[in-house]
A = this chain, B = another copy of it.
Amino acid sequence: MKFMVEVRIRLKKGMLNPEASTIERALALLGYEVENTDTIDIITFTMNEESPEDVRREVEDMCQRLLCNPVIHDYEFSITEMEG
C-alpha cells in the first residue's frame, strides 16, 4: 500500500527562533503589525509499506535519526493512505 506522510517540525517552546524574529521585524518595517511569529518546517513524502503501523515505525525512526534534532525540535506526523 502507498502512504502519504507529512512530518511537521518546529523548535521547542522557549528556543530562540531568529528566522521568526527576522520575519516579524521585517513585517513591522513594512507597516504590518503581527505578533507571536513562529516557523514550522514540513517534509512530505510517499512510502510503500504493508501497513500504517509499519509506516509509523519507520517515520518515527527517520525523525529520530535524521529529520529532526530531538534536543531542540518537537515533531509530529500524519500518515494518509493513498488510493491506487
Residues of A within 8 A of B (CB): 5, 8, 20, 23-24, 26-27, 30, 32-48, 58, 61-62, 65-67
> Do A23 and B35 touch across chains, with their CB atoms under 8 A apart?
no
* Shortest CB distance A26–B (Å): 6
Closest residue of chain B to A67, judged by CB?
Answer: B23
Give Cα A5–Cα B38 distance, bound, in whole angstroms: 10
Residues of B within 8 A of A24 (CB): 45
Q: What are 19 inter-chain pairs, A to B, with CB distance below 8 A?
A: A8-B42, A20-B43, A23-B43, A23-B66, A23-B67, A27-B66, A33-B48, A34-B46, A35-B45, A36-B45, A37-B43, A38-B45, A39-B42, A39-B43, A39-B44, A40-B42, A40-B44, A41-B41, A41-B42
